[in-house]
Each structure stands twice: as structure tokens, then as C-alpha cells.
Structure 1
């Protein structure tokens, strides 16, 4: 999650500053260009950085004694779809902020919260094994986050 948090936060801040200025200049076309650039950059980062991260996770025990952290490696790999989705969700949620679509932002955050709680409840009720829980959690939030990104992008598409 660390790469998603760090890269997502920096990308989010830069993106918000750029599109806020463009919004106040009433330059929607340039906001669309900035959004497409951001999507391309995040996609390239995902394609190149996450496979490297998987390799690091796989081979770090050859360099460092990680015997007390054995289960972490399996779980870390399963959480990569969630980390990728958060990498995209964080910056694109700024579209709702800048375009003053607070209800959309709130509804998408509530959707993520409800999906998270639902996965936890299902895991508790059905006594799901932890590794399976992590896979379900990661896949569910991957889908929900990208749906939210789609909703945020629709805000931009609706602007003339």
C-alpha cells in the first residue's frame, strides 16, 4: 500500500492544484487533457511498478531474514489489486471536489465503506479463512473503486 499512498497523495495534490486553477479559468478542455495525462501516468506506473513490487516481495527474504513475517508475503500479493484501485481513486476523487459534486464524493465514499463492512460481515458470518477474505476484500474494493473513478469521470464528461 505504501507506493499507492505516497504516489497517490502526491499525484492527487498536484492534479487538484492544476485542475482547480483550470476550473477557475473555466478551461474544461485542459482539465480533460490533464485527466487523460494523469490516467496514462497512473496506468504506466501500475504496469511497471507493481510487477517490480511483486518481485521485491518475492525475493526480499533472500536478502533479509523475514522468518517472522512469513504470512505477510502471501497477503501482500493479494492486496495489490486494492492498492492499484486506491492509486486511481485518490486523485480522481478530486474531480468531485473541484466541480463541487460533494454528493457524488460522499456517495462513493459511503459505497466504499459499505463494501468494506459487507466483506467483513460476510467473512465473519461464513467464517472465511483469512487469505480468502483478503482476496475477496481486495477484489471487491478494486471493483468499487474503479466504479467510483468512472462516476468521477462522468462529472467531467457532463461539463461543457
Structure 2
């Protein structure tokens, strides 16, 4: 097998109310600081706590995923707030049972409502309506898991070249 490396970056769409909430937190903390300066310094603590809450919210609200496929290994990293990267999964491609679009019959038995098999699900999609996502059933630490991924064509074709019976494309 040839050496190869395919990387794909997926940015998760922000929730609709997230922007409004973050603006409200900043405005409230600034107003509390101004009120603390004018009236009572006791308002500094809630202003500080609101600023810390905004910081934590901004880190956890901004997620990106990076899929890296290299020499038979698929690695999924989660990037929080463009600062913190953590490897969520390191999967061997030989352990994949099936990769198919979420509506495909090959993954029908793993659906939440109406499926016959129940497995732990991990969602690494962008939540964009125009981007199709794929369901991957694979083994990790001898346990079957279900991954929802936004795989691009080059990554799908590379897996299909090696394991044609396991990949179903649109």
C-alpha cells in the first residue's frame, strides 16, 4: 500500500441563539463594571463571573473537527475555540464494518428509531443542511461504535479503493 495522507477540516455550525447570547454576556459584564465603578464595587464579582462564563462559552461553542486518514488509520481530532485540540478517535480502516449515507439501507439497523442494533453514537458533522453526512460503523477497543461524519469525495474514494465492499457512496 502506498503512503498517503488525506486531511479534512469540518467547522460545526453555531447554534442560532449563540451569537445573541455571547453579545448579551459581554454587554451585561461591561454594564456591571460601569455600575460597580459608579455605585458599588460589590458588582465587580458578578461582572468578573460573567466574563469568565463568556470565556468558557466561547471555547465550548466554537468546535471544529479534523479528519486525518493516513496509511490505514483514521484519526478524528476535536478543536475547541481554535485553541485546544484533542484526539477523539484513532481508528483502523480494516476494522470498519460499513460507511454509507445516513439514509442508506446498509446502516438502517443502526438508526435510533427503528433500528435493531444499539451502538454508542459520536457526531462529528457540521450541521449544515447542504452537506451530506455519512454513517460509519466500526470497532474501537473491541466495541462497535457509530460515527456521523462529513466525509469528502477524496477520502471516500481512498477508502473505497482499499475496501470496496464496505463503502457505499451517493
Question: What band does the TM-score fall into relative to the shorter chain?
Answer: under 0.3
The TM-score, its normalising length taken from structure 2, stands at: 0.26
The TM-score, its normalising length taken from structure 1, stands at: 0.27
More strand, by proportion: 2
More helix, by proportion: 1
Query: Radius of gyration: which is bigger?
Result: 2
